[in-house]
Amino acid sequence: MTVATATEVFDFMGTETDLRTGNATLITNLIANVQQMIEDYIDRYIEVTASTEIKIHEGRYCSVIGNKIYMNDKYFDIYSISSFTEDGTALVEGTDYVLTRPNIIERIDSYWAGVDQLGLVITGVFGMGYSVTAESVTTVYPHKGLKEILIESVATLSGLWGKAVSDGEGNDFVVSRSSLPKFSKDMLNMYKQYVV
């Protein structure tokens, strides 16, 4: 699943109807590719994504210090944990551990066992989203700032985003945007994890 739709990209660019129809597949494919590129660049999930079992240990997706696990890489943004085992024993949130958002899991009244092995296994949902509950229905949304950068990046790479200009002598032509503005690049870098 992707964070943005082709319609949102076309709306952002102000694309005319005839160009939308002929380029919908191009934009849809670009969205998926650019989203993956952004996630690889910032090393975080843009959208909330469920995971299968993740085996972690010190230096593999986390740092363990005392009774705290500091998740990193794509698992930095913990949305929820559905199961957590330590050396095969199921742990209970609130009894055995506490999740401190966005990325800290704290062991209650104990230290983590086997932190240098693959004895810690998490299944959960990770990503930079947020949820809104209305009328007993919870809807999860992607991070708004990253969604906007994604849309702008796709628009730039598509070659369809341009501005009609006139040379003053009756000649009209379209100038395409060819690079992401510096502000958007700087904003994207703000989401990048810098691990020391």
Q: What is the pLDDT of residues 156-176, one digit of tens each?
A: 999 888 777 777 787 777 777
* pLDDT higher at 149 or 195: 149
Q: How confident is the model at residue 127 (pLDDT cuts 50, 70, 90)?
A: confident
Residues 156 and 184 in one domain: yes
The values of phi and psi at residue 95, to 5°, are -105, -50
Mean pLDDT of the chain: 87
Q: How confident is the model at residue 196 (pLDDT cuts 50, 70, 90)?
A: very low
In angstroms, the CA 111 to CA 120 distance is 12
Residues 53 and 119 in one domain: yes
Arithmetic mean of pLDDT, 71-91: 91
Contacts of 156 (CB under 8 A, 6+ apart): 177, 178, 179, 180
Specify if 75 maps to a domain: yes
Which residue range is the domain that position 115 belongs to? Answer: 49-126
Domains in the chain: how many in total? 2
Residues 66 and 118 in one domain: yes
* Residue 43, amino acid: D
Residues 96 and 53 in one domain: yes
Specify if 131 maps to a domain: no
Q: Please tell me the predicted confidence (pLDDT) of residue 46.
A: 86
Residues 54 and 119 in one domain: yes
Residues 35 and 54 in one domain: no
Q: What's the whole-model pTM score?
A: 0.79
pLDDT at 195 over 60: no
